[in-house]
């Protein structure tokens, strides 16, 4: 996955057997593989210095 992302963006694909490959941008690119999660983004319950809610992919949270 060679896509250039801005912080907080996610890109990925899911195949027919349920394998998800994705890349999420935080301070750095965070690549991940999962058979349990999808590419959905969830709130962490925390806020940053600008009082904006922090969101991460479900595969990263668990």
Residues 14 and 27: their CA atoms lie apart, in Å, by 24
Mean pLDDT of 1-25: 89
Domain residue spans in the chain? Answer: 10-61
Q: Kindly indicate the confidence band of residue 62, based on its pLDDT and cuts at 50, 70 and 90.
A: confident
**Which strand ranges, in their side-by-side order, compose the sheet holding 10-14?**
10-14, 20-25, 29-34
The two three-digit tokens of residue 46, written as one number:
């925390």
Residue of 6, 23, 29, 5 lying closest to 59 (CA atoms): 23
Is pLDDT of 1 > 70?
no
CB neighbour list of residue 11: distance below 8 Å, 6 or more residues apart: 1, 3, 5, 22, 23
The predicted-structure confidence for 16-47, as pLDDT tens digits, reads as follows 998 999 999 989 999 999 999 989 999 999 99
Q: Is the pTM of this model over 0.85?
A: no
């Amino acid at each position: 996955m060679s896509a250039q992302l801005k912080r907080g963006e996610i890109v990925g694909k899911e195949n027919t057997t349920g394998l998800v490959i994705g890349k999420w941008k935080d301070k750095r690119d965070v690549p991940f593989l999962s058979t349990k999660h999808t590419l959905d983004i969830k709130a962490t319950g925390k806020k940053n210095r600008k009082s904006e809610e922090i969101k991460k992919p479900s595969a990263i949270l668990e």
